[in-house]
Chains A and B, each alone.
Chain A
Amino acid sequence: MRKLHFLFFLILLIFPLFIFSQVNPPLITFSDCIKKKADKFPKEVNFNKAQFFYLKKNWDSTLVYSMKQLSSSNNTELADYCHYFRGYSFRELKLLKEARSELNLVSKKFIFYNLVNYKFGAISLELKEFDKAISYFNKIEKLPIVKNGDYKLSNIYENLGTSYLHLEKYDIAEDYLFKSTSLKIKENDTLSIISSYLNLANLFYVQYKDKQAIPYFEKAYSLSKKVNDFNKKREASLNMAVVEENRGNLKKALIYRKELEQWKDSLHNQNKIWAVADFEKKFAVAQKQKQIKVLKVENKLKNTQRNGLFFSAIGLLLILTAGVYLYGQKVKNAKIILLQKNKLDELNATKDQLFSIVSHDLRSSVNALKTSNSKLSATLETKNYNELNQLIIQNSTIANGAYSLLDNLLHWAMLQTKQLYFHKESIHLYSIVQQIEYNYKPLLLDKTLTFENSVSKNIFIFADLDSLKIVLRNLLDNAIKFSNENGKISFYTRETISDFCELVIEDNGIGMNENTIKELLADSPLLAKKNNSEIIGTGLGLQLCKQMIRKNGGTLAIESELNKGTKMILTFHKTTNNG
């Protein structure tokens, strides 16, 4: 058994990588032939690729492209090549059964059918079907061999020899092995020679022809020293060791064993070095891969960071814009509010001022009434009727003043809140002046003023009656107030061309200066300040007049001279058709 084991081992070594022969074979090698075929069919891309990978010994790719070629193209000429490629590739990949079935698909007319047979033989040998192997090899044994071709005759002989050896047909085996050895010696291939010697040695050794066997073992051993192949050295040494052991020469056997160990170690070392190199390579690749990974991750991180930065920048910009806009709005609003506030403050101040003046006036009026009343009761006790009458007149004057003040105040408030009823109609101005004057008769009498109403009786104006009355009342009141004793107040109209009518209220009282006129006519809500204690009032009356006149569509002008008198000139719309 030990020897058979060796033999099997040797056989595997015998299979060359490129080996060929022929039925009536073309005197050309297979590789040259397929190159030519590829040139001939440049359009068969898959075939071209298959042959390319075949020559490159890339068996997987060869399988793929040959299959593609077979399924896509009907070119029968190339089909045999493809099947051969596939069979060859399968065998190289140790898929022996597939290889054999693929080779069976090759047609018998294939010009390289000798190669197919050779392959069949080799496969059978590997499958230990020695009889079949012998029959395949015999088919091609006699065929001519191309030099430097795809296989050598020595290989066939050696394979045949090996087969017979396994079939224990030692004579025939010996014959073939000798042929093979002698051919190999001619070829001067040391490695093959060593194999052959070892085969021969084994052949004899199996037959217990030690004397014939040992010289071959020794030859093989000595040759193995000249080569660098550790496997061969090891085999030779091992065989020598076994031989010496069997001869009982343990010392020598031990030496061979040691040598064997050495070769084994060397082999091991070499393997180790390769493994280390391989490992290092792998490690380096892994390292590189790691680096790449790290870089990738870094890149990714950078990308996310960049994106993050970009988006946050945009977000910030947006926030900034919105902020600026809102701030602008706020500032604008604040400005408006400030303006409004100032206006409101002003108005409020006016109102407060009005309040204080009015309440002051009222207070003094009521106070005067109070003191007058106590005087009245005192006078009543003394039954001084003359004085009593005087006091009553005085009281009513005070009451009238307070009343007109309050009336103005009421109208002012109504005007401000827009509650005042306003209805324009045709008004007989003369009658209205008469009516107003009627109420002031006691006052006029008191100051001994002359009153004259020279308003044309034919004038009808178009205005709101009540507001007109308020205006006239106030103006007459003022005229009386600012008149000296024995003065004269007159109301008269001046006809103008247009639809307007001018009403003049003239007095010859104290008058006023330009500034006061300006102040009075100024269109401000502020009231004239009380700078002349007794006579000058709140200014409320005139403000009210101005607003009422404006509301009626009229105008107010003042002509005045100090100490000579004042003219208040009003204009109103006339009623257009008289009747």
Chain B
Amino acid sequence: MDNINVLIIEDTPEQSEALAKVLLENNYNTVGIATNFKDALKLFYENTIDIIIIDVFLDGKPDGITFAESINIIPNSSKPFVFLTSSQDRQIFERAKLTKPFSFLMKPFNELEILYAIEMAVEKFYAQINVFMSEEQDTVVSNDYLFIKKKNSLKKVAINDILYIEVEERYCNIITEKEKFVIQISLTKISNLLDKNKFVKTHRNTIVNTDKIEEIILADNLIILKGDHKINLSDTYKDFLKKMNILS
């Protein structure tokens, strides 16, 4: 599980520092603090960014919105973002609203509010709302990562690192090469959200990352994954083998 990388775009040092402090306390990783539009773009493309916090007004100009607009144009490069603003001016909102998905936070804000806003932004961006706050689920699934709520903050797990997922009632055990942890999401939901060509069901409560399969022992109904994890293969789910290109 990795920390979330945050890019802060804010021209007032006191505010950006306070923000960075809050983020740090909550295990977020501040990648950089940009004070203008140009720096922001540079930092955005040089680093792996998960979330951007944008002040609408940079030096009195609504460059924050301009930034959101420009990253929105390029497909697949956009990331979840939160607008910070001290003004409830309708015109600004009308413009900002067009950069969907749109979430904002009014200044002044407290610790809880910024954390909430970040979570909301992630939910909205990946179109899986009411996840982090509910009692049934704590994970948002994107193409590359699982965003998991741990206490007050978010964590991410690269999907490519997952070996297999084991479901126990309302919980899922995520097993990667390095660690093993529990998330709260239903099996149907997660199997719907994951790439079906990559993750296949091998058992009633097991989903396997096919990239991580080392060996399949049909005689024993066993799948051996990287790191010597042994998984049972039930007869009902053997069909996926036909789709695979088997060398040997």
Are B110 and A575 closer than 8 Å at their CB atoms?
A: no
Are A579 and B131 closer than 8 Å at their CB atoms?
A: yes
Bound complex: CA A578 to CA B189 (Å): 14
Are A579 and B129 closer than 8 Å at their CB atoms?
A: yes
Chain A positions within 8 Å of B133 at CB level? 428, 430-431, 457, 460
Number of residues in A with C-beta < 8 Å to the partner? Answer: 23
Are B130 and A419 closer than 8 Å at their CB atoms?
A: no
Kindly identify which residue among A421, A457, A575, A579 contacts B88, using a CB–CB cutoff of 8 Å.
Answer: A421
Closest-CB distance, B25 to chain A (whole angstroms): 14
Q: Is B178 an interface residue, CB under 8 A from the partner?
A: no
Bound complex: CA A575 to CA B111 (Å): 25
Give chain B's interface residue range (CB within 8 Å of chain A): 10 to 19
Kindly identify which residue among A419, A421, A435, A457 contacts B110, using a CB–CB cutoff of 8 Å.
Answer: A435
Are A431 and B106 closer than 8 Å at their CB atoms?
A: no
Q: Is A434 an interface residue, CB under 8 A from the partner?
A: yes
Are A458 and B112 closer than 8 Å at their CB atoms?
A: no
Closest-CB distance, A418 to chain B (whole angstroms): 8
Are B111 and A438 closer than 8 Å at their CB atoms?
A: yes
Bound complex: CA A423 to CA B111 (Å): 23
Write the chain B residue with the least CB distance to A418: B90
Bound complex: CA A432 to CA B97 (Å): 22
Count of A-B residue pairs with CB < 8 Å: 52
A414 with B88, Cβ < 8 A, contacts A426-B130, A428-B133, A579-B129 known? yes
Q: Mark A379-423, 1 if CB is under 8 A from B, else 0.
A: 000000000000000000000000000000001001000011101
Chain B positions within 8 Å of A457 at CB level? 133-135
Write the chain A residue with the least CB distance to B189: A579
Closest-CB distance, A329 to chain B (whole angstroms): 39
Closest-CB distance, A574 to chain B (whole angstroms): 11
Bound complex: CA A168 to CA B135 (Å): 173
Are B134 and A431 closer than 8 Å at their CB atoms?
A: no
Bound complex: CA A428 to CA B116 (Å): 9
Bound complex: CA A566 to CA B106 (Å): 30
Bound complex: CA A106 to CA B131 (Å): 143
Are A435 and B116 closer than 8 Å at their CB atoms?
A: yes
Write the chain B residue with the least CB distance to A403: B108
Q: Mark B132-171, 1 if CB is under 8 A from A, else 0.
A: 0111010000000000000000000000000000000000
Q: Is B113 an interface residue, CB under 8 A from the partner?
A: yes
Q: Is A495 an interface residue, CB under 8 A from the partner?
A: no
Write the chain B residue with the least CB distance to A429: B133
Closest-CB distance, A414 to chain B (whole angstroms): 6
Write the chain A residue with the least CB distance to B102: A423
Closest-CB distance, B41 to chain A (whole angstroms): 27
Q: Is A359 an interface residue, CB under 8 A from the partner?
A: no
Q: Is A299 an interface residue, CB under 8 A from the partner?
A: no
Closest-CB distance, A466 to chain B (whole angstroms): 6
Bound complex: CA A421 to CA B104 (Å): 12
Write the chain A residue with the least CB distance to B124: A425
Q: Is B235 an interface residue, CB under 8 A from the partner?
A: no
Q: Is A303 an interface residue, CB under 8 A from the partner?
A: no
Q: Is A439 an interface residue, CB under 8 A from the partner?
A: yes
Query: In residues 305-323 of chain A, which contact B (Cβ within 8 Å)?
Result: none
Chain A positions within 8 Å of B134 at CB level? 457-458, 578-579
Chain A positions within 8 Å of B113 at CB level? 435, 438
Q: Is B37 an interface residue, CB under 8 A from the partner?
A: no
Write the chain A residue with the least CB distance to B110: A438
Chain A positions within 8 Å of B131 at CB level? 579
Q: Mark A454-473, 1 if CB is under 8 A from B, else 0.
A: 00011010000010010000
Closest-CB distance, A434 to chain B (whole angstroms): 6
Kindly identify which residue among A423, A438, A460 contacts B112, using a CB–CB cutoff of 8 Å.
Answer: A438
Query: Top 9 nearest A-B pairs by Cβ distance?
Result: A428-B133, A421-B93, A435-B112, A438-B110, A438-B112, A435-B113, A579-B130, A431-B116, A421-B90
Q: Could you give 23 example pairs across A and B, Cβ below 8 Å?
A: A419-B89, A421-B88, A421-B89, A421-B93, A423-B93, A426-B129, A426-B130, A428-B130, A428-B133, A430-B133, A431-B112, A431-B116, A432-B116, A434-B112, A435-B110, A435-B112, A435-B113, A435-B116, A439-B110, A458-B135, A578-B134, A579-B130, A579-B137
Q: Contacts A419-B88, A439-B110, A578-B134 given; 7 further ones with Cβ under 8 A? A: A414-B88, A419-B90, A426-B130, A428-B133, A435-B113, A457-B133, A466-B88
Please report A residues at the B interface, Cβ cutoff 8 Å: 411, 414, 419-421, 423, 426, 428, 430-432, 434-435, 438-439, 457-458, 460, 466, 469, 575, 578-579
